[in-house]
Amino acid sequence: MIKKIPFLFLIVVLVAFTNPPKKSKLQAKVESLAEQVEAKTIEWRHHLHQNPELSNREFKTAEYIAAHLKSLGLEVQTNVAKTGVVAILKGGKPGPVVALRADIDGLPVPERVDLPWKSTAIGKYNGNEVPVMHACGHDTHIAILMGTAEVLTTIKSELKGTVKFIFQPAEEGAPKGEEGGAKLMVKEGVLKNPDVEAIFGLHISSGTHVGKINYKPGGTMASSNSFEITIHGKQAHGSRPWSSIDPIVTAAQIINNAQTIVSRNMPLTKEAAVVTFGSVHGGVRSNIIPEEVKLVGTIRALDNDMRDKIFERLTTIAIKTGESNGATVEIVIHEGYPITFNDVDLTAKMLPTLQSVVGADNVNLIPAVTGAEDFSFFQREVPGFYFFLGGTPVNVKPEDAPSHHTPDFYVEDDALVIGIKAMSRMVVDYSM
């Protein structure tokens, strides 16, 4: 059950807005160091953008990351969850173990943005050659965490505790038939030895101006579960539909009936929920009623009880609608990603840090997002805080910014130094 946001959180927010604390010498030093590595970070980002790789195939990306981390003298482990990289920095003073995470995979999307560092890379997806692009900004995430590693290594003697830098593959989903991503990293023990106390992550955001940071305590991004519904009927000539058990008509009724799940069964004043049918496959020509139709879709929820209710209602509707038409229906709901849940206490603790980095007026509390993130697997194990970093140029209207996962996706280099400051400060401030 998702916790409600306590009144104490609101008090912390109010105090942070009215009484911004003065930066300590170490906090100021961290931000100065971030500015000093900005130029290198931009070069790293451009290289990574030009050389994207698909999920579980990030071989050269991992080598590039590992080479930098080793140059800093960190303890580096490669081939984690297939192509992941993990580095450990031990500070000069006792303190907690904090993890920072960046995802590293690209997408099978052709790039249309005219850049000197435009991607022309080709990869293989589902057995087909496809163009590959960092169409969700994971190149910026990698560069920010590489820069953060350099900043925190520089202040190693003044640092309290230990930092785990987690460069995670396959956030966009492992290839069919493979394991991958945060779930596999957790399974392999990435949060253990030493045991992580808290984890932080960020996502660059198209549609949010550079210099802005968005956040939400509690349920922040939705759980995501794909489903498949297979309808078995009886084939017949299209001129004699009475001789059939029509899976196409049954499919239409299932799709229509399922629309009542959110509109009539979900307490939408509590949280949002989504049931979407993304594809319908069945039939080969106009005069044949087919034997089988397959429906594929996605379920999104921001509350675990609501998610479970959707599973139950969709299953009942699909099977009973099929029975009413004489058809047999099979439904499979895949595990997917959990809710990305920002620990309420941790969010309240770190909010002043974000406000200190970019100014309180530039840190915005936002509604939940129905997209999904496998950072949620880390958050199931330890308290985590995940926020959104503005990436859209200030002269572009947010509504005109190209969407993530599209050929025109673009975010500014100017966001990188802000990301480094935020991530570095979170480590320093958490242990203060």
Query: What pLDDT does residue 1 have?
Result: 44
Mean pLDDT of all residues in the chain? 95
Please indicate, yes or no, whether residues 65 and 182 belong to a single structural domain of this protein.
Answer: yes
Give CA–CA dist 98/348, Å, rounded. 17
Give CA–CA dist 257/315, Å, rounded. 12
Q: ∠ CA 283-285-287 to the nearest 5 degrees?
A: 105
pLDDT, one tens digit per residue, over 267-285 is: 999 999 999 999 999 999 9
Least confident segment among 138-142, 172-176, 257-261:
172-176
Instruction: For residue 221, count other CB atoms closer than 10 A to its CB.
Output: 26
Buried b (16+ CB within 10 A) or exposed e, 311-343: bebbbebbbebbeebebebebebeebbbbbbbb
pLDDT at 213 over 50: yes
Query: What pLDDT does residue 44 have?
Result: 98
Q: Which of 318, 333, 348 is the last residue of a domain?
A: 333
Give CA–CA dist 149/162, Å, rounded. 12
pTM: 0.92
Query: What pLDDT does residue 9 have?
Result: 58
Residues 191 and 384 sit within 8 Å (Cβ to Cβ): no
Q: Which of 299, 333, 367 is the last residue of a domain?
A: 333
- Read off the pLDDT of each residue in 53-75 and give the average, rounded to a whole number: 98
pLDDT at 4 over 70: no
pLDDT at 13 over 70: no
Range of the domain at 323: 223-333
Query: What pLDDT does residue 20 have?
Result: 63
Please indicate, yes or no, whether residues 383 and 304 belong to a single structural domain of this protein.
Answer: no
pLDDT at 353 over 80: yes
pLDDT at 159 over 80: yes
Please indicate, yes or no, whether residues 178 and 298 belong to a single structural domain of this protein.
Answer: no
Query: What pLDDT does residue 18 have?
Result: 52
Please indicate, yes or no, whether residues 34 and 138 belong to a single structural domain of this protein.
Answer: yes
Is 56 part of a structural domain of the chain? yes
Please indicate, yes or no, whether residues 63 and 73 belong to a single structural domain of this protein.
Answer: yes
Number of domains forming the structure of the chain = 2
Is 164 part of a structural domain of the chain? yes
The three-state DSSP-derived secondary structure of the chain is CCCCCCHHHHHHHHHHHHCCCCCCHHHHHHHHHHHHCHHHHHHHHHHHHHCCCCCCCCHHHHHHHHHHHHHCCCEEEEEECCCEEEEEEECCEEEEEEEEEEECCCECCCCCCCCCCCCCCEEEECCEEEECECCCCHHHHHHHHHHHHHHHHHCHHHCEEEEEEEEECCCCCCCCCCCCHHHHHHHCCCCCCCCCCEEEEEEEEEEEECCCEEECCEEEECEEEEEEEEEECECEECCCHHHCECHHHHHHHHHHHHHHHHHHHCCCCCCCEEEEEEEEEECCCCCEECCEEEEEEEEEECCHHHHHHHHHHHHHHHHHHHHHCCCEEEEEECCCECCEEECHHHHHHHHHHHHHHHCHHHEEECCCECCCCCCHHHHCCCCEEEEEEEEECCCCCHHHCCCCCCCCCCCCCCHHHHHHHHHHHHHHHHCC
Instruction: For residue 279, count other CB atoms closer than 10 A to its CB.
Output: 9
- Read off the pLDDT of each residue in 404-419 and give the average, rounded to a whole number: 98
- Read off the pLDDT of each residue in 230-244 and give the average, rounded to a whole number: 98
Q: Which of 333, 364, 379 is the last residue of a domain?
A: 333
Is 9 part of a structural domain of the chain? no
Nearest of 409, 379, 354 to residue 166 by alpha carbon: 379
- Read off the pLDDT of each residue in 159-188 and give the average, rounded to a whole number: 97
CA atoms within 13 A on the CB side of 209: 12
User: What is each CA distance from 66 to 61, 105, 144, 179, in whole angstroms?
Assistant: 9, 15, 14, 22
Q: Which residues contact 326 (CB under 8 A, 6 or more apart)?
A: 233, 234, 245
Please indicate, yes or no, whether residues 215 and 228 belong to a single structural domain of this protein.
Answer: no
How, if at all, do strands 93-103 and 198-209 pair? parallel
- Read off the pLDDT of each residue in 121-133 and give the average, rounded to a whole number: 95
User: Which residue type does 245 have?
Assistant: I
- Read off the pLDDT of each residue in 41-59 and give the average, rounded to a whole number: 98
Is 7 part of a structural domain of the chain? no
CATH code, domain with 278: 3.30.70.360
Query: What pLDDT does residue 11 have?
Result: 52
Please indicate, yes or no, whether residues 282 and 417 belong to a single structural domain of this protein.
Answer: no
Is 86 part of a structural domain of the chain? yes
Is 12 part of a structural domain of the chain? no
| Percentage with pLDDT > 90 across the chain | 94
Query: What pLDDT does residue 391 have?
Result: 98
Query: What pLDDT does residue 126 have?
Result: 86
Query: What pLDDT does residue 404 have?
Result: 97
Whether 105 is catalytic is yes
- Read off the pLDDT of each residue in 224-252 and give the average, rounded to a whole number: 98
Please indicate, yes or no, whether residues 72 and 188 belong to a single structural domain of this protein.
Answer: yes
Is 115 part of a structural domain of the chain? yes
- Read off the pLDDT of each residue in 136-162 and give the average, rounded to a whole number: 98
Please indicate, yes or no, whether residues 133 and 184 belong to a single structural domain of this protein.
Answer: yes
Give CA–CA dist 199/379, Å, rounded. 8
- Which residue among 58, 171, 246, 374 is the active-site one? 171
Q: Is 207 left (phi over 0), alpha (psi -120 to 50) or beta?
A: left
pLDDT at 222 over 80: yes
CA 251 to chain centroid: 32
Is 214 part of a structural domain of the chain? yes
Buried b (16+ CB within 10 A) or exposed e, 88-108: bbebeeebbbbbbbbbbbbbb
Please indicate, yes or no, whether residues 30 and 137 belong to a single structural domain of this protein.
Answer: yes
- Which residue among 103, 105, 139, 172 is the active-site one? 105
Please indicate, yes or no, whether residues 244 and 193 belong to a single structural domain of this protein.
Answer: no
Please indicate, yes or no, whether residues 286 and 307 belong to a single structural domain of this protein.
Answer: yes
Residues paired with 85 in a beta bridge = 167
